[in-house]
Amino acid sequence: MSLFTKLFNFVILTSTRYAIDESHGLTHSMDVLRNAHNIYNSVLTTTPDIREHERIIYVSAIVHDMCDKKYVNERDSIHKIEEFLQDTIHPFEIDVVKQIIATMSYSTVKKNGFPDLGQYQSAYHIVREADLLSAYDVDRCMVYHMQNINPNMEESFQHANLLFENRVFKHNEDGLFLTEYSKKQSIMLHKNAKIRINQWRNILRL
């Protein structure tokens, strides 16, 4: 079984066990992995040493939400991730993955700032930015609200609209993107999200 298959199977099983919906489950893990891969490739020429951390980046990108406190006990879930990874990657890699996924969330960064992960700082930012780029998905935001807070479609749209205005659309001005790839990509995603919001507003006649 390949590393990717093993990791995504873990995401499927964990999502099922803890009712982690699609906004933070398999589809999201795949999306963040793709973003991380693109950011990783964009910095290879300027940061060639990042090659040594490729596996850490990809593992972190895939499992990062399997310890999301919105669904699970964060500390217990990180321990379960650690146990799962025991026969998959090296112990030092597991330690770095744990540090990345425990400190990369938007709320944690806003509260505590960026951690100092030394030689793994670039790997940390790649995974963190990959997750932030996935946050520009308006439908994903609505799905989370409908499946976890209130299934009312109009209310879910209004919640998403406010979240984007107050948080997502401010990612750049808040200095949350450090790589040139993410800065450029976020501008395009920002425009697309604006269009998507207007489409939903027209559909729902709001």
Residue 85 pLDDT: 97
Place 140 in a pLDDT band, splitting at 50, 70 and 90. very high
Residue 121 pLDDT: 98
The pTM is what? Answer: 0.97
Residue 1 pLDDT: 80
C-alpha–C-alpha distance, residues 159 and 170, integer Å? 16
Residue 80 pLDDT: 96
Mean pLDDT for all residues in the chain: 97
pLDDT over threshold 90, residue 206: no
Could you give the C-alpha distances from 151 to 15, 135, 155, in angstroms and in order? 20, 20, 8
Give residue 165's identity as a one-letter amino acid code.
E
Element (H, E) at 32: helix 26-43
C-alpha–C-alpha distance, residues 189 and 192, integer Å? 5
Quick: pLDDT tens for 12-65: 999 999 999 999 999 999 999 999 999 999 999 999 999 999 999 999 999 999
Q: What percent of the chain lies above the pLDDT cut of 90?
A: 99
Mean pLDDT of 171-194: 97
Quick: pLDDT tens for 103-112: 999 999 999 9
Asked whether 124 and 173 are in contact (CB, 8 A), the reply is no
